[in-house]
Amino acid sequence: MQPAPWPTWEEVVARSNCHAVVDFEDFLGNWKDDKGSLIVVARPGPDESQNILNVTITPLGKRRDIQVALTKLPNNLGGYMCGLYGRFDFHNSHSEKLVWLFEPKEGFAGVAAEDRVWVR
C-alpha cells in the first residue's frame, strides 16, 4: 500500500484553523528535541522585522553543530519552515512544544518522513 501523499502548505494551513497558536517570537530561546539534541533559536541581528531566525542544533554524540534557518512563510501560505524540508505542524504544537514534519529530500531512498518534537 502506498503512503498518503505529503500535504501541501495550503492543506496544512486550511486544516489547522489556528494561525495564532504559535507566534514567530515563540520560537526564540532554548529547546531540546526528542532525539536529545540541544537547539538554540536566535535572531540573526538587531532587525526584528525579518522573517528569519537562526537555528543551531547540537546533536548528541560527536557530530558538529547544524545551522539552519527558521522562516516565516508569506501570508498567502501561512506557517513556518525549518531548514529545507521541515514543515510546522499547527495541530500538535503550542508555545512550549513544537512539532515539525520532516520530509526527506529527493534522492534519499529508504528514508522515511518523521515528526520531530522540540520542548522547552
CA 9/CA 45 separation, integer angstroms: 28
> Residue range 66-76: average pLDDT?
85
State the pLDDT at residue 77.
65
**Please, what is the average pLDDT of the chain?**
80
Q: What is the pLDDT of residues 34-59, one digit of tens each?
A: 989 999 999 998 877 778 999 999 99
SS3 61: coil
State the pLDDT at residue 23.
84
Tell whether pTM > 0.95. Answer: no
Q: Given a cut of 90, is residue 20 above it in pLDDT?
A: no
What domains are defined for the chain?
A: 23-119 (2.40.128)
State the pLDDT at residue 13.
55
CA 110/CA 120 separation, integer angstroms: 31
State the pLDDT at residue 73.
84
